[in-house]
Structure 1
Amino acid sequence: MMFALYAVAFFCWVSVSLSAPLSCEDLNRPLDTQDLSFLNGRWALVLASLSNPAHLGKLKERDSASISFASHSDSSKLSFTRDFSFNDSCLHVNTNVTVDGSGFIFHEFNYTVKILHTSCSDCAVMRFDRPGKPERVYLFSRRREVGPKELEEFSAQAECLGMTAPFVMDPTKKLCPAAPTAEG
């Protein structure tokens, strides 16, 4: 009888602890890996949050956005291509970035990017920081949209960082054709 009581108490504790919201520290913890090869390929921008609401206008002008990564012959570098679609035209921007732990550095824009933990198996949550301040957080996915659980988790990550409510990209808008990436 006593064992059954302990078992019930244990299972109640487990169910409550599993449903408890994660702390901001847990939600915005960078990945524990320095192997960023999982980033190779194309990712569609699904959700975005910014520290400055004034910058949302520029984001809203885009019909779609995607990024592509390609490994570099120098393992400390990645080729990074951004594709933006707006008004039936496409813009492709190629940049080499330097791998830095569980993220990378955009030297030309003075951004440090950290890849954050997420429960979404085909997503990459990226936090873009200027020195001393998180400025943007994006959820990229191999899909064009995510489910309510993933949206809720991303919203909590953005809220913890003091960002705007997530802006959802329109999944019905076509992505630009992938631009060739320059590998070195």
Structure 2
Amino acid sequence: MKTLCVAAVVVLSLSSVCQAASLACEKLLKPVDKAPDLRGSWYFIAISSKSCWVSTLMSSLLWSSIQVNITSKDTANMYTAEFKYKFHGYCDTDSEDYLYENNTLFDVDINNTPKGQADVLLQSGCPDCFVVKDDEGISFLFSRRQNVTDAELKEFESQADCLGWSKPQVFSSDHDYKNCLSAEDEDVDTSRLPSLIFERIKNTYTVQLKCLTETFYSFPDDALKWTQQNLSNFFLF
């Protein structure tokens, strides 16, 4: 009888833990009720991805720092995002126009018409952050600050875990965009870039090995899902 009681307590405890985890994930994966004011300067803090290779290669090859300045346009809900990139001492810039609507962001064409799938803004407990998840299996954590707290980064990690995605990789926090070489200038010597990338790869080999291991162990599950899906489609005919 005593053994039975102990077993019941264990089962109930596990059930409570699972329910708490489920509720936490439900909250983290819910789109924001009200987005922050997107205007102003933001920093890319971390990236997570459905495939660990996306975030791993971003960290292992480029080790970039990215800042974006968002301004509103004359058209309602339209914004221009001006990006500054820095990687291995070289800098570059880019700009994109976006439509913000119903807590989602859309790329737009030259006529400001939405195109493609929407990027969704997810919940974040960080007071000056926002999280964007796109339809290609990538999410980004942005903040007004160049660095966030360990707890805020841990929350983003939990969010990625709820999605079943890879552990986030953190961007470089070197945002000195004045003292760097322009990647757009044809006269700038970029011959050192391959060696810098190779050195970065050597210094982050453990991250790459972990991703390789995760990919290897995911093959049976992916194969099973593919088989189940294709068998289901076959029996529908």
Give TM class, smaller chain: 0.7 to 0.9
Look up the equivalent residue of 1:62 and give its one-letter code. Answer: W
Structure 2: which 5+ residue stretches go unaligned? 1-19, 110-114, 179-237
Asked if 1 retains the 8 angstrom alpha-carbon contact of 2:43 and 2:142, the reply is yes
CA distance in structure 2 between the aligned counterparts of 1:85 and 1:159, rounded to whole angstroms: 28
**In the alignment, which residue of structure 1 is the partner of 2:41?**
42
Aligned residues: 152
CA-based RMSD of the aligned residues comes to 2.3
Secondary structure at 1:23 match in 2: helix
CA distance in structure 2 between the aligned counterparts of 1:115 and 1:23, rounded to whole angstroms: 17
**In the alignment, which residue of structure 1 is the partner of 2:27?**
26
**Residue 107 of structure 1, CA deviation:** 4.3
**Residue 98 of structure 1, CA deviation:** 1.5
CA distance in structure 2 between the aligned counterparts of 1:40 and 1:167, rounded to whole angstroms: 25
**Residue 100 of structure 1, CA deviation:** 2.3
Asked if 2 retains the 8 angstrom alpha-carbon contact of 1:45 and 1:141, the reply is yes
Q: Which runs of 4+ in 1 moved over 6 A?
A: none
Identity of aligned residues (%): 25
Q: Which moves more between the two structures, 50-59 or 141-150? A: 50-59
**In the alignment, which residue of structure 2 is the partner of 1:147?**
149
**In the alignment, which residue of structure 2 is the partner of 1:117?**
123
- TM normalised by structure 1 equals 0.73
Secondary structure at 1:75 match in 2: coil
CA distance in structure 2 between the aligned counterparts of 1:83 and 1:50, rounded to whole angstroms: 22
**Residue 57 of structure 1, CA deviation:** 4.5
Secondary structure at 1:126 match in 2: strand
CA distance in structure 2 between the aligned counterparts of 1:175 and 1:26, rounded to whole angstroms: 36
**In the alignment, which residue of structure 2 is the partner of 1:55?**
54
**Residue 84 of structure 1, CA deviation:** 1.4
**Residue 140 of structure 1, CA deviation:** 0.7
**In the alignment, which residue of structure 2 is the partner of 1:87?**
88
Secondary structure at 2:82 match in 1: strand
CA distance in structure 2 between the aligned counterparts of 1:58 and 1:66, rounded to whole angstroms: 19
**Residue 128 of structure 1, CA deviation:** 1.4
Larger radius of gyration between Structure 1 and Structure 2: 2
The correspondence of residues 65-104 of structure 1 with structure 2, limited to 5 A, is 65-104=66-105
Partner residue of 1:158 out of 149, 157, 160: 160
Secondary structure at 2:135 match in 1: strand
**Residue 110 of structure 1, CA deviation:** 3.1
Look up the equivalent residue of 2:171 and give its one-letter code. Answer: M
**Residue 146 of structure 1, CA deviation:** 1.4
**In the alignment, which residue of structure 2 is the partner of 1:13?**
none
Considering fraction of residues, name the structure with more strand.
Answer: 1
Structure 1: which 5+ residue stretches go unaligned? 1-19, 178-184
Look up the equivalent residue of 2:148 and give its one-letter code. Answer: V
**In the alignment, which residue of structure 1 is the partner of 2:218?**
none
Change (3 A) 1:175 1:113: farther
- TM normalised by structure 2 equals 0.58
Secondary structure at 1:70 match in 2: strand
CA distance in structure 2 between the aligned counterparts of 1:112 and 1:128, rounded to whole angstroms: 7
